[in-house]
């Protein structure tokens, strides 16, 4: 068996709807730049950083800062993976929103005192996020809790192997073209797009 230095690379997953499918809540201009620009950039950035790691392993890197390389890898890999959840967590306008069903609804009801209370606290978490990042709902496979998480930039506090069920992107690139500095208006509109079936499927894999 030969020894090789080779990392498998990421690919940009398909957008599960057309760029204008989320209008009027999120404009086609935003989705185009966000998906084809930003998300693709994170995929490329992760792959480029893996190329760099391969060069380091082969002794072909002239000079490098290992912590810088790993920070790039973390930023771009998380950027790719978090966006991959974000797109599929939304459904075309008219097909998303409403309330969750299935086991997700059961857990929200038994833990958060019902969907309305959950929506209030998840909204509070979203709207109080300082600067750039994400707000997520994840399932703790140890405690069996559905739990809120805040993610600064792409450097998540994502405890190993805990699956994210629902996530919202709060980077300015996710709303600025349409909502300018009114992030709260974007966050209010986002609820109309939530694909609860997708969130419930993500959760169900771990129950």
What residues line the site for Mn ion (CB under 5 A)?
A: 169, 171
Would you say 80 or 100 has its CB closer to Mn ion? 80
Q: Report the C-alpha dihedral over residues 123, 34, 137, 130, rounded to 10 degrees.
A: -50
Please, are residues 96 and 192 in contact by the beta-carbon 8 Å criterion? yes
CB 76 to Mn ion: min, Å: 12
Would you say 33 or 69 has its CB closer to Mn ion? 33
Would you say 139 or 171 has its CB closer to Mn ion? 171
CB 171 to Mn ion: min, Å: 5
* Dist CA 100 CA 116 (whole Å): 11
Residues 6+ positions from 7 with CB-CB distance below 8 Å: 50, 53, 54
Query: Which single residue brings its beta carbon nearest to Mn ion?
Result: 169
Would you tell me how many other CB atoms lie within 10 Å of the CB of residue 171? Answer: 19
Would you say 145 or 182 has its CB closer to Mn ion? 182
DSSP 96: S
Nearest to 74 by CA among 149, 152, 131, 13: 152
Residues 6+ positions from 188 with CB-CB distance below 8 Å: 123
Would you say 169 or 200 has its CB closer to Mn ion? 169
Burial 40-76 (b: 16+ CB within 10 A, else e): eebbebbbebbebbeeeeeeeeeeeeeeebeebbbbb
Where is 125: in which H helix or E strand?
Answer: helix 115-127
CB 112 to Mn ion: min, Å: 26
Would you say 118 or 175 has its CB closer to Mn ion? 175
CB 40 to Mn ion: min, Å: 11
CB 35 to Mn ion: min, Å: 9
CB 39 to Mn ion: min, Å: 7
Would you tell me how many other CB atoms lie within 10 Å of the CB of residue 110? Answer: 10
């Amino acid at each position: 068996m030969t020894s090789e230095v080779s990392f498998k690379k990421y690919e940009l997953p398909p957008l599960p709807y057309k760029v204008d499918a989320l209008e009027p809540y999120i404009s086609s201009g935003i989705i185009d730049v966000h998906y084809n620009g930003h998300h693709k950039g994170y995929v490329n950035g992760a792959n480029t950083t893996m190329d760099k790691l391969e060069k380091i392993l082969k002794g072909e890197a002239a000079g490098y800062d290992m912590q810088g390389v790993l920070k790039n890898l973390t930023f771009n890999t998380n950027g790719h993976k978090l966006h991959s959840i974000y797109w599929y967590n939304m459904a075309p306008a008219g097909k998303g929103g409403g309330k969750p069903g299935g086991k997700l609804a059961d857990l929200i009801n038994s833990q958060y005192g019902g969907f309305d209370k959950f929506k209030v606290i998840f909204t509070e978490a979203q709207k109080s996020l300082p600067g750039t990042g994400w707000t997520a709902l994840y399932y703790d496979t140890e405690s069996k809790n559905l739990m809120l998480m805040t993610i600064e930039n792409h450097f998540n506090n994502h405890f190993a192997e805990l699956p994210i069920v629902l996530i919202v992107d709060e980077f300015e690139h996710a709303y600025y073209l349409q909502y300018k500095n009114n992030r709260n208006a974007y966050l209010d509109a986002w609820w109309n797009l939530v694909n609860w079936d997708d969130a419930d499927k993500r959760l169900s894999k771990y129950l």
